[in-house]
Structure 1
Amino acid sequence: MKILVIDDDIELCDLLREYLEQEGFTVAALHEAKDGLAAALSGDHDFLILDVMLPGCNGFDLLRQLRHFSAIPVIMLTARGDEIDRIVGLELGADDYLPKPFNPRELVARIRAIQRRGEHGSGVRPAAPGKIVADDITLDLGTRTVYQKETKVVLTAVEFSLLHALIKRIGQVITREDLAQEVLGRKLELFDRSIDVHISSLRKKLGHQLHGVERIKAIRGVGYLYARTAKVS
């Protein structure tokens, strides 16, 4: 897998390149937003590690522009303890975040978790090999694409995995902690709103209701469920 690192900390980039290459990844590093955006849009990379603070253009602006054209998985590097940066990054389409300073092993774990593909579950019917259907939503697990009726819905890697986790257990409540483990590959931290922000994004992209029923329901103090309706087959 080819990873692009965009961070103006040259020493950190060198350390990440050395560590990630030992883990079998191919790594390129850039230090300015303009060059980084062009490289991220080139299609030459499979994953992006993006710092919030960049000269000339911050990481949020870069991510906002990137998401108009690309669903490449993104982990944002944020200042430790800056919860606002984390939430903003997730709302703009980042798949996950990692506060600085961090252990490179944790970064590798999060990269692999985002790339992991879930297995088929129950609650929906197979539409074709590698596809599952629930109401107006079709998930193609092979290409990791989603269609709402005939329209393609562009989701990030984590959003796809989250939707898959919910739909394969349609009508069942899944705790936020279980969703975090399955989708993000990690435990939720104290006051961690990652799952909630990704759920909010899914609701916006898919619509809040279907047949008068709330599509993704929040179960207060527990988690979420993808609601079963009369149209499920």
Structure 2
Amino acid sequence: MKSTILIIDDDKQLCQLLQKCVSNENIDAVVYHSGKDGLEALSRTEVQLIVLDVMMPGMDGFDTLAKIREISPVPVLMLTSRTESSDKVRGLRAGADDYLTKPFDVDEFIARVQSLIRRYTTLNAFSSEGGQKLSFQGLTIELDTCILTVNGQKVDLPAKEFEVLRYLAENQGRVLTKQQIYERVWQEPYAYDDANIMGYISRLRKKIEPDANNPTYIQTVKGMGYRFNRGV
């Protein structure tokens, strides 16, 4: 099935270029030039990826990302002309899945788009064979359909959050370092970006823990990393 991405960027010339590039890869793109219009489009259009600019007038990329995460787990690739690492950390901690700094190589852009779409569609693929599950007290993780259920209620997770949770749960009882988590989930050398991993853990705790400030599933092992427990 042909994939569709949503591009939200006020640079009209760049949007035309990106739309043409993904079209050459058999990917459709719908384009909007403001966060408000992009959010309205997301509410009525099924997409497999959002490409989101940080610096936009009115509602900037960070504010738009926050609204996206209220309604959708679809992966987000953020674009920015700013080089400060604090912006990257802020975006990733807010729920972005990847980050590119302008100007960027078009081939790298296409590679990241394809990778994010592939991960998202794989995570959301339905298995007709009856799926494998990881079951804990009050928590069920369906590995084939990528459905998370907490106390009987389905909880939607962005692709990267699900991958982090899955990796932790599959290694229940084992202490995993931030480096191990990063390299397993992002599949690239560790960038010593502890704040990014901590942000993902914090968001997961808010969604699965009875008390995020006193976690029972994802526990911190001081000076080492994190360990997943069965809960109480």
Task: Choose from 13, 16, 19 the match for 2:18.
Answer: 16
What SS does the aligned partner of 1:152 have? strand
Task: Choose from 135, 138, 163 the match for 1:136.
Answer: 138
- Give the distance between the partners of 1:169 and 1:163, measured in 2 at CA: 10
Decide whether aligned partners of structure 1 residues 66 and 104 sit closer, same or farther in structure 2, where only a CA change above 3 A counts: same
- Give the distance between the partners of 1:196 and 1:112, measured in 2 at CA: 26
Task: Choose from 34, 59, 66 the match for 1:57.
Answer: 59
Deviation at 1:80, TM superposition (A): 4.0
Q: Please, which moves more after superposition, 128-137 or 103-112?
A: 103-112
TM-score, normalization by structure 2: 0.80
Q: Please, which moves more after superposition, 141-150 or 78-87?
A: 78-87
Structure 1: 5+ residue stretches without partners: 119-127
Decide whether aligned partners of structure 1 residues 203 and 41 sit closer, same or farther in structure 2, where only a CA change above 3 A counts: same
Deviation at 1:137, TM superposition (A): 1.4
Decide whether aligned partners of structure 1 residues 61 and 24 sit closer, same or farther in structure 2, where only a CA change above 3 A counts: same
1:128-181 Cα offsets, whole Å, 9 max, x none, are: 623321332111233322111211222111111111111111111223233223
Structure 2: 5+ residue stretches without partners: 124-129
Answer yes or no: is the 8 Å Cα contact 2:21–2:110 preserved in 1.
Answer: no
> Could you say which residue in structure 1 is the equivalent of 2:195?
193
> Could you say which residue in structure 2 is the equivalent of 1:121?
none
Q: Please, which moves more after superposition, 190-199 or 27-36?
A: 190-199
Decide whether aligned partners of structure 1 residues 103 and 198 sit closer, same or farther in structure 2, where only a CA change above 3 A counts: farther
Question: Is 1:45 the equivalent of 2:47?
Answer: yes
Within 5 Å, which residues of 2 pair with 1:40-189?
40-114=42-116, 115-116=118-119, 117=122, 129-189=131-191
> Could you say which residue in structure 2 is the equivalent of 1:26?
28
Answer yes or no: is the 8 Å Cα contact 1:109–1:185 preserved in 2.
Answer: no
Q: CA RMSD in A?
A: 2.7
- Give the distance between the partners of 1:208 and 1:106, measured in 2 at CA: 41
Greater helix content: 2
TM-score, normalization by structure 1: 0.80
List 4+ stretches of structure 1 deviating above 4 A: none
What SS does the aligned partner of 2:134 have? strand
- Give the distance between the partners of 1:11 and 1:192, measured in 2 at CA: 36
Deviation at 1:70, TM superposition (A): 1.8
Aligned length: 220
Deviation at 1:51, TM superposition (A): 0.8
